[in-house]
A and B are shown apart, each in its own frame.
Chain A
Amino acid sequence: GNSVTQMEGPVTLSEEAFLTINCTYTATGYPSLFWYVQYPGEGLQLLLKATKADDKGSNKGFEATYRKETTSFHLEKGSVQVSDSAVYFCALTGGSNTGKLIFGQGTTLQVKP
């Protein structure tokens, strides 16, 4: 079945540093790919998504490009802020029109002033 692997955290950065959180996937067919963010004490919020190869999702300064050749969907941001401290989840659709999303284990990002 489809699966997703994220880099282990926590990731600790200084404010204004460049962020990359790696995500790779295994899938049959053509899944849609997502990044979700979970701020402390909250549920998950959709951050960005891409539905086909070479699509770039972007939101709030974050970007990720759907790379079919490397089966990756790495999350990047050029300059992080303290307010970006959260847990980030990579996800993909389960395939075969199951209506399911499959989530990675999450990566904690801590940004220090």
Chain B
Amino acid sequence: ETGVTQTPRHLVMGMTNKKSLKCEQHLGHNAMYWYKQSAKKPLELMFVYSLEERVENNSVPSRFSPECPNSSHLFLHLHTLQPEDSALYLCASSRGSGGASYGYTFGSGTRLTVV
């Protein structure tokens, strides 16, 4: 257990469904991140939150909608996804702006399959 917990571990959803991924950390970190990991592709940074404020959105389609209600929780809301969105979605946290020098702590990921 790394201190960053992601649920669910596996998710299968149809293209018309709406679902949410959850990430929780109690490490006292104040920056959180969503990454997408697809087969044979580099890690893609999707969103960055620092002190609950979104500071980066890397041209992610609007069918992915992040939410950070407090510094311990991060959600990724999904709707009308495409099969190419199937991937491992990783959440990470760090000590915040400038805290990257300490590294990130990752969760175990949610394996998403869109059918």
Contact = CB atoms under 8 A, between A and B. Distances in A.
Given A42-B109, A45-B2, A99 B94 contact: yes
B103 interface: yes
Interface string B79-115: 0000000000010101011111101111111000000
B42 interface: yes
Contacts of A36: 106
Contacts of B109: 42-43
Contacts of A49: 103
Q: In the complex, which of the residues A32, A43, A44, A97 has the most CB atoms of chain B within 10 Å of its own CB atom?
A: A43
Nearest to A97: B98
Interface residues of A, number: 23
Interface string A78-107: 000000000001000110011111011110
Interface residues of B, number: 27
**Chain A interface, DSSP helix/strand/loop, else mixed:** loop
A46 interface: yes
B50 interface: yes
A101 B92 CA distance: 11
A46 B45 CA distance: 17
Interface of B: 2, 4, 6, 31, 42-43, 45, 48, 50, 55-56, 90, 92, 94, 96-101, 103-109
